[in-house]
């Protein structure tokens, strides 16, 4: 095997992992606080990507410039969805939350299919094809930007959870919901805020993904099973875990693609997922179950 090809695959894998981290970090936050798997994650990402797409096509807003707007809009959407549907109708059962998010994902995806058709759409911005030389390989600029942004996003979230009052309340609710209620925290509100933040991350992710990816109603599928794998691998609820997990998964996908071929290469992720569930379901950075 040529060292250059291997090096290029490694770089490619890490960059891919950066994109995955953008999606996984919000999912791990939601899991860490609400203890549920958010099945609507992929379809919320898809909606955000359509948002970014239409902002560019209809209003000429550059995807990167749309980040603040998309973060705010997606936060509001997540917060509202939790308040109006998930929190209200789950009757306090985790199983129901899971099914409601599943129902939401089916509805959202098919609304997109209904209105936007199944066609995939691409955009081009001036920097879409700009290549940067990185060691042995040429790397598209948007990939590099999204990689850097995913590091920033993880750091920002970790800081927010550790240092702000809201962050402390979130941690309290995540650890001991009942106790948090006793000390006067509005638990329902904190749960909605956490869900909102998790979805807000998707707003940023969408802005960073659209310049290098197509948009289609099923685009969420590409990310969501991978994101589940990352969240479990990193330890549900751990930001550092999500980042490291995402990079590992990106590397796995790239390297198994190199050695096993494109089609069979994807099986690496499923196998890792199965093995981690069996042998270390708390993940690399998780505490006790």
By CB under 8 A, is residue 92 in contact with other proteins?
no
Three-state secondary structure call for residue 25: helix
In the complex, what is the shortest distance from the CB of residue 245 to other proteins, in angstroms, rounded to a whole number? 14
Q: How many CA atoms lie within 13 A of 132 on its CB side?
A: 12
Instruction: Judge whether 22 and 209 are in contact, CB under 8 Å.
Output: yes
- Rule CB under 8 A: which of 34-53 touch other proteins? 36-37
CA distances from 117 to 107, 121, 122, 177, 216 (A): 14, 10, 14, 42, 8
Please pick, from the candidates 6, 69, 99, 284, the single residue that binds other proteins as defined by CB under 8 A: 99
By CB under 8 A, is residue 230 in contact with other proteins?
no
Distance CA 149, CA 5 (A): 26
Provide the token pair at 286. 């998780």
Closest-CA residue to 196 (of 81, 105, 102) = 81
Place of tokens 């998964």: 249
Provide the token pair at 219. 């685009």
By CB under 8 A, is residue 178 in contact with other proteins?
no
Please pick, from the candidates 104, 173, 200, 212, the single residue that binds other proteins as defined by CB under 8 A: 104
Distance CA 132, CA 140 (A): 6
Place of tokens 């999606």: 23
In the complex, what is the shortest distance from the CB of residue 40 to other proteins, in angstroms, rounded to a whole number? 10
Mask 10-29, x = binds other proteins (CB under 8 A)?
--------------------
By CB under 8 A, is residue 253 in contact with other proteins?
no
By CB under 8 A, is residue 65 in contact with other proteins?
no
Nearer to other proteins, 38 or 146 (CB): 38
How many residues make contact with other proteins (CB under 8 A)? 46
Give me the residues that bind other proteins (CB under 8 A), please.
36-37, 85, 88-91, 95-96, 98-100, 102-107, 109-114, 117-118, 217, 221, 225, 228-229, 232, 261, 263-264, 266-267, 269-271, 273-274, 277-279, 281
């Amino acid at each position: 095997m040529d060292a250059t090809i291997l090096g290029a695959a490694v770089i490619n894998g890490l960059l891919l992992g950066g994109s995955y981290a953008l999606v996984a970090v919000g999912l791990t936050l939601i899991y860490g606080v609400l203890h549920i798997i958010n099945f609507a994650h992929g379809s919320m990402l898809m909606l955000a990507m359509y948002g970014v797409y239409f902002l560019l096509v209809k209003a000429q807003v550059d995807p990167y410039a749309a980040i603040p707007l998309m973060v705010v809009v997606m936060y509001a959407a997540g917060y509202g969805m939790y308040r109006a549907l998930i929190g209200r109708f789950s009757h306090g059962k985790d199983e129901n939350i899971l099914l409601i998010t599943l129902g939401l994902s089916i509805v959202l995806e098919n609304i997109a299919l209904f209105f936007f058709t199944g066609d995939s759409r691409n955009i081009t911005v001036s920097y879409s094809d700009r290549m940067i030389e990185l060691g042995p390989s040429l790397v598209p600029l948007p990939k590099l930007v999204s990689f850097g942004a995913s590091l920033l996003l993880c750091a920002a979230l970790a800081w927010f959870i550790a240092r702000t009052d809201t962050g402390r309340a979130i941690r309290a609710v995540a650890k001991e919901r009942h106790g948090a209620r006793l000390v006067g925290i509005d638990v329902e509100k904190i749960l909605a805020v956490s869900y909102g933040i998790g979805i807000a991350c998707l707003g940023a992710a969408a802005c960073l993904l659209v310049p290098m990816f197509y948009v289609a109603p099923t685009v969420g599928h590409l990310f969501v099973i991978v994101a589940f794998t990352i969240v479990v691998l990193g330890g549900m609820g751990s930001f550092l875990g999500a980042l490291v997990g995402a990079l590992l998964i990106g590397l796995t996908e790239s390297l198994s693609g190199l050695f096993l071929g494109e089609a069979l290469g994807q099986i690496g992720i499923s196998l890792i997922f199965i093995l981690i569930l069996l042998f270390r379901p708390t993940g690399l950075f998780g505490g006790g179950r």
